[in-house]
Amino acid sequence: MTENPGAQPGAEGNLSPEPESMQKYSDEVRERIAKKAYDLYEQRGRQPEHDVEDWLEAEELVRTEMNACRVDS
């Protein structure tokens, strides 16, 4: 069995353990990132195997949006 260094402790039986990097996001932020990642996927013509790239780009876009809102407030 291979180890997932980012997995939560005790998640051995889980088919898709949540990596540590995901634990820092609230459900609302995670939902925004997921929607943005899906939008990027569709804009690229639904090409497979770019999910990680889409997610990372979506994270950056959402963080930028959130920071812009803080500055404007």
Whether residue 47 lies inside any domain: the answer is: yes
State the pLDDT confidence band at 59, using cuts at 50, 70 and 90: very high
- Measured CA to CA in angstroms, residue 57 lies from 33, 37, 52, 72 at distances of 9, 7, 9, 23
pLDDT for res 7: 46
Domain span at residue 53 reads 23-72
Q: Specify if 14 maps to a domain.
A: no
Q: Is residue 1 part of a domain?
A: no
**Domain count within the chain:** 1
CB atoms within 10 A of CB 30: 15
- Domain-embedded: residue 8: no
Q: What are phi and psi of 7, to 5 degrees?
A: -75, 150
Instruction: Name which of 1-15, 25-39, 50-64 the model is least confident about.
Output: 1-15
Radius of gyration of the chain (CA): 15
Q: Would you say residue 65 lies in a domain?
A: yes
- Per the domain annotation, does 16 fall within a domain? no
For residue 59, how many other CB atoms are within 10 A of its CB? 19
pLDDT digits (tens, 9 = 90+) for 20-44: 656 667 889 999 999 999 999 999 9
Indicate if the pLDDT at residue 53 is higher than 90: yes
- Asked if residue 29 belongs to a domain, the reply is yes
